Amino acid sequence: MSDASDLDPIALEITWNGLKSIADECFLTIMRSAFSTNIKERHDHSTAIADAQGRLIVQAERALPIHLASMSGLMTHILEIFGDAIAPGDIFIGNDPHVAGGTHLPDINLAAPVFDGDRLIGFVANIVHHADVGGAAVGSMSGGLDEIYKEGLRIPLVRLYRGGELQDDILRLLLLNMRLPDERKGDLYAQIAAIRLGCKRLDEVLTRIGPDVLTQTFSEIVSRTHHRMQAAISRLPDGQYSFEDVMDDDGAGTENIRIALTIRKKGSRIIFDFNGTADQVLGNFNQTLNATQSAVCYALKALLDPNVPNNQGIFDAIDIDAPVGSLVNCVAPASVALRANTCQRVVDTVIGALADALPDQVVAAANGANTSAVFEGTDPRTGGKYVYFETLGGGMGARAARDGKDGVQVHITNTSNLPVEAIEQEYPLRVEEYALVEDSGGAGQHRGGMGIRRTIRPINHNCEFNGVGERFTNPPWGLFGGFPGEPGSFKLKNDDGRTTSLPPKASRVKLTPQDAAIIITPGAGGYGSPGDRSPEDLDEDKRSGKFTEAYFRRHYTKAD
């Protein structure tokens, strides 16, 4: 076998882009064939290719950064558990964060090996967030669940297909423990279809260029990413950088949960030290180490080299010291369903730590959450149960040169906001309002992005609302004199127009057609002193209708 450095650079680039095309085609296959709105409309899924050592080689362009280490963790566990017993036609399934490399139970991982004769070449993998995987609460994502056993069905790594044959008893066991089994089955079959397509496409590449060149290509892709990331790290000034942030609460009695970070950087080596972070909590905001790894890798990549590929090379360039049993490296039976909120806060903490060193690259705190809403009940059109699950976007933090974006998913989540038409077509719900929240963007030379307000009313009785919010009590901070964004909230509106506040972790709220749930997501922090905002930008703010006169009087000395 020739050395990887002997690979023709043009052929390498062609093969590399071919692998990316496979991952992207698998992503689209899931999106176009899934049953649930969370996948076909919001695109809460990822696809990837790994090599025979389990190293992640390529992730789809539209995939989610939070899924990066989860799929890598799956590969590690497959090789450790099954080893030489891996065979052509196998498809592995798992979701458990403590024993199967997952990050929370709704994210179900699938992976299949690709062989050249008896030689294992690599894997095709995907991950889909299923709207419900059983457990004590509908949607498997409610706040306050205090152990993983309550969060849904735990799937260790098992074969869903053995030698090309579906293990029907495994599938029946899974579906029996999930609400809406037909929808779950449809989404699982979409994952299986994407796995089979990916294996076929990778086998075509294997046939065209041969196993030796393909495996050399895998190694070269990882090596180049690693060196590129190290070069980016080397450009960061040597030193020690620290920052702290907090989670609002865990829904089970613990408030202002501390995340402490010290970054030590010398040359091309960088260490993220989370000593001082709170111990794991009773509520379900804990995260496993691979989730922390995803958040840290995303944040550093975004700050230093946004175009570097997502693969094992990034992991290899970064060291993480996270105390075992802490919020950011929890152990069983810690509950983890809402780990995305904690991941978002880890991202904010990394950015906060590096703000002084990278003032032109950082952003102020974004909405810092995955504000989740679950509506469930009986659909009068079918008589069957429905579950509408969504995480809603909010404000993106302001930057050194421009305002933050309004009403978007931020950082490690790459999903979309569900269109009103999809909600009302799929579910017995009426969206009465979908708007930006006035005055919610933090003031500054560049203002923070704005949060979203959605008012949703059921059209029949027997509806229940569960909501989970973060940055509801601790607002998203600003940078360099910028003001914080407005926090989020949940409210209940009655027919007479009265509104009552709901807790940030709102569970089992009964709704009738005389009630509407109001979901208000956080805005984001501003960047720079409000006094430095240009007259042209202030005029645009006034014309936009997004801000009140009181907002201008409070923040801008140049306002009329």
Phi-psi region of 144 (alpha: psi -120 to 50; beta: other; left: phi over 0): left
Q: Which of these three, 210, 227, 244, is where a domain ends? A: 227
pLDDT mean over 495-507: 91
Residue 324 lies in a domain: no
Residue 539 lies in a domain: yes
Using CA atoms of 414, 420, 424, 426 in order, give the dihedral in degrees to the nearest 10.
-20
Residue 271 lies in a domain: no
281-304 residues labelled b (16+ CB within 10 A) or e (exposed): bbbbbbbbbbbbbbbbbbbbbbbb
How far apart CA 369 and CA 409 sit, in angstroms, is 9
How far apart CA 341 and CA 410 sit, in angstroms, is 11
Q: Which of these three, 197, 227, 257, is where a domain ends? A: 227
Contact 231, 261 (CB under 8 A): no
Burial class of residue 383, CB neighbours in 10 A (0-12, 13-18, 19+): exposed
More reliable by pLDDT, 372 or 560: 372
Instruction: Choose the weakest-confidence range: 99-103, 230-234, 420-424, 465-469.
Output: 99-103
Burial class of residue 119, CB neighbours in 10 A (0-12, 13-18, 19+): exposed
pLDDT at residue number 1:
36
How many residues in total does the chain contain?
Answer: 560
pLDDT bucket at 200, cuts 50 / 70 / 90: very high
Residue 124 lies in a domain: yes
When divided into structural domains, the chain yields a total of 2
Instruction: Measure CA 452 to chain center.
Output: 18
Amino acid at 465: F
- Angle, helix 68-82 to helix 289-304, in steps of 10 degrees: 140
pLDDT bucket at 558, cuts 50 / 70 / 90: low
How confident is the model over 13-65, as pLDDT tens digits? Answer: 999 999 999 999 999 999 999 999 888 988 889 999 999 999 999 999 877 88
Residue 258 lies in a domain: no
pLDDT at residue number 261:
98
3-state helix, strand, coil in the chain (%, to 5): 35, 25, 40
> Is the predicted pLDDT of residue 3 greater than 50, yes or no?
no
pTM: 0.94
How confident is the model over 527-545, as pLDDT tens digits? Answer: 999 999 999 999 999 999 9
In angstroms and rounded to an integer, the radius of gyration of the C-alpha atoms of the chain is 23
Using alpha carbons, list the distances in angstroms from residue 461 to 44, 375, 498, 508: 29, 12, 20, 14
Are 221 and 370 in a shared domain? no
Contact 434, 407 (CB under 8 A): no
pLDDT at residue number 123:
97
Are 223 and 367 in a shared domain? no
pLDDT bucket at 4, cuts 50 / 70 / 90: very low
pLDDT mean over 432-459: 97
Are 223 and 372 in a shared domain? no
Phi, psi of 417 (to 5 degrees): -80, 135
**Which are the contacts of 156, defined by CB distance < 8 A and separation ≥ 6?**
94, 96, 99, 100
Query: Minimal CA–CA distance to 402: which of 461, 446, 453?
Result: 446
Contact 202, 194 (CB under 8 A): no
Using alpha carbons, list the distances in angstroms from residue 286 to 142, 324, 326, 328, 494: 14, 12, 8, 6, 35
How far apart CA 149 and CA 409 sit, in angstroms, is 29
**Which are the contacts of 180, defined by CB distance < 8 A and separation ≥ 6?**
131, 132, 385, 386, 387
Using CA atoms of 538, 544, 548, 554 in order, give the dihedral in degrees to the nearest 10.
-20
> Is the predicted pLDDT of residue 462 greater than 90, yes or no?
no
Q: Is the peptide bond before 65 cis (omega within 30 degrees of 0)?
A: no
Question: Structural domain of residue 108, as residue ranges?
Answer: 4-227
How confident is the model over 508-534, as pLDDT tens digits? Answer: 999 999 999 999 999 999 999 999 999
> Is the predicted pLDDT of residue 466 greater than 90, yes or no?
yes
How far apart CA 453 and CA 183 sit, in angstroms, is 28
How far apart CA 560 and CA 557 sit, in angstroms, is 8
With a pLDDT cut of 90, the percent of the chain lying above it is 84
pLDDT mean over 300-326: 95
Residue 236 lies in a domain: no
Residue with tokens 């095709």: 124
**DSSP assignment of 184-237:** HHHHHHHHHHHHHHHHHHHHHHHHHH-HHHHHHHHHHHHHHHHHHHHHHHHHSP
Residue 300 lies in a domain: no
Q: Which of these three, 192, 227, 262, is where a domain ends? A: 227
How far apart CA 244 and CA 257 sit, in angstroms, is 10
Burial class of residue 219, CB neighbours in 10 A (0-12, 13-18, 19+): middle
How far apart CA 97 and CA 154 sit, in angstroms, is 9
CA angle, corner 268, sides to 266 and 271, nearest 5? 60
How confident is the model over 242-295, as pLDDT tens digits? Answer: 999 999 999 999 999 999 999 999 999 999 999 999 999 999 999 999 999 999
Residue 21 lies in a domain: yes
